[in-house]
Each structure stands twice: as structure tokens, then as C-alpha cells.
Amino acid sequence: MVELELQDGLAVITIDRPHARNAIDSATMGELEEAVHAAAGATALALTGGGEKAFVSGGDLKKLARLRTEQEACAMALRMRALCDRIAAFPGPVLAALNGHALGGGAEIAVAADVRIAADDIRIGFNQTKLAIVPAWGGAERLARLVGPGRALLLAGTGQIMDAALAERLGLVDLVLPRAGFQDGWRRIARELATAQARELKILASQERTPREAATAFARLWVSEEHWQAAEKVMSRGK
């Protein structure tokens, strides 16, 4: 099942299929599509998995084995690619909280996020090559943007499974947290990203803007009540 939690501008989507290590089947795709649609008004979005064993372990092979024609396989790939594209295009910051292993399609979902935070005992890898297939949900392109084309070819071409520390060194994971404080840690960061400022920062970082457009975005925040309340607190401490 897929759960959606909405609170104070933060939408948290949890993929919770413990019997299948949170693998994605057709029904889960539908629930994910509905959850992403329902989260549209949130300021920030977080994606995670249920439990501690898996973020998403990829596609549910037992269910997806029913797809036997090229047409069926292509339709499934396009459906999940469109969903990952919607996640990547979410207007506010998107955080993937890697509570467990992110393998194959799970790694593809993870790299659709803007930020990846991992527990220190997880593993991540684009291991589709072990099934004699390639990433089809947009993961290959996004991996190349994160780590460079050559390294992406090496990682996905060999199907290497990385621990959290190596993934962080390569730039695939942005932050590694101890397992003991992982839940509290990623939720705190997600709440901090659920702001108008972080939303503008995402736009600034992902799009070319003219100086006028960037200044206009800054000015809109400058005149906001939230800015002046924060400024008053800072100025009062200096008195």
C-alpha cells in the first residue's frame, strides 16, 4: 500500500509493501500516481519506504512477469517514467529518505528526488543489468547528471551495489545519517525544506534565470510577513 501524510506544507509518501520489500507492481504504480497527485499543493515532498529493509527493491518481478510482449513492457516503462518525471518536476523540494536498500527501479525513484538522505546501513545500486535489462524509468539519465556519464556507465553497466558511504562519496547520496536517529533526522530536514524559500532555491538551481527574474523572486520573499518576523527576531537579539 501507499500512504500519504500531509502536515504543515510537507507531504510524505510511504511505500509500504513489507511482503515484497516495497517492490513496485501495477497496483502500487496506481496508488503512487494518486498520492503524487494528492500532494500537489504541498510545499515539499518526501518519499520513503515502510520498515528498515527496503526503500524500494525495484519492480515486483512476480507481478511484472505477466508482461510478455514488447508493447506491454514499453507501456509499463513509459508509465513509471512519467511518474518519476512528475516527482522530479514537483514544484517544491523533493527528498528521498532511503530507509532501506534502493535497488534497480528503487534507485531510479531515488534519483528522481532533489535530495537523497540515507541511513548508514543501506545499499543502493542500478543492478538491472543482472536481469539482462537496462534502467527504463529515467534513472540512467539522472544518474549521469549526478555522477557523470562515464561513472554512470560503470555503475549501471556492472550493476555495482554501493554502501551508503561510497554512494555519498560519489555524490549519489547527499547525506548519510546513523540508523538510530534516521527517522527524526530526515523528517527534521524535510520540514526545514518545506518553505517558500526552499521552493525558490529549487527553481534557481534547476533553471536558467535572468538577473531580473532572480531579483524578483528574492523581492517577493523580502516583502513577505515571514521574512519580517524572522528579521525582527534577529534584530532584537542585537539590542
Flag whether 199 is in a domain. Answer: no
Same-domain pairing of 228 and 182: no
Position 236 scores a pLDDT of 83
Q: Taking the alpha carbons of 99, 204, 11, 109 in that order, is the dihedral positive or negative?
A: negative
| Burial of residue 7 (number of CB atoms within 10 Å: 0-12, 13-18, 19+) | exposed
Flag whether 200 is in a domain. Answer: no
Flag whether 63 is in a domain. Answer: yes
| Burial of residue 142 (number of CB atoms within 10 Å: 0-12, 13-18, 19+) | buried
Position 239 scores a pLDDT of 54
CATH of the domain at 23: 3.90.226.10
Same-domain pairing of 186 and 221: no
Number of domains in the chain: 2
Flag whether 203 is in a domain. Answer: no
Q: Which domain holds residue 216?
A: 208-237
Same-domain pairing of 21 and 126: yes
Helix spans in the chain (H): 26-38, 61-64, 70-88, 105-111, 139-147, 149-158, 164-170, 182-193, 196-206, 211-222, 225-237
Q: Which residues contact 67 (CB under 8 A, 6 or more apart)?
A: 73, 76
Note the pLDDT tens digit of each residue in 101-140: 999 999 999 999 999 999 999 999 999 999 999 999 999 9
Flag whether 181 is in a domain. Answer: yes
Same-domain pairing of 141 and 29: yes
The pLDDT > 90 percentage for the chain reads: 76
176, 134, 139: which is closest to 159 by C-alpha? 134
Same-domain pairing of 132 and 222: no
Same-domain pairing of 231 and 146: no
Note the pLDDT tens digit of each residue in 168-186: 999 999 999 999 999 999 9
pTM of the model: 0.89
Flag whether 23 is in a domain. Answer: yes
Position 37 scores a pLDDT of 97
Same-domain pairing of 160 and 225: no
117, 105, 96, 106: which is closest to 47 by C-alpha? 96
Mean pLDDT of the region 60-73:
89
Flag whether 141 is in a domain. Answer: yes
Same-domain pairing of 152 and 48: yes
The answer to whether the beta carbons of residues 221 and 227 sit under 8 Å apart is yes
Same-domain pairing of 178 and 215: no
Flag whether 146 is in a domain. Answer: yes
Same-domain pairing of 106 and 136: yes
**Cell numbers at residue 205, please?**
538551481
Position 205 scores a pLDDT of 75
Same-domain pairing of 28 and 123: yes
Same-domain pairing of 78 and 160: yes
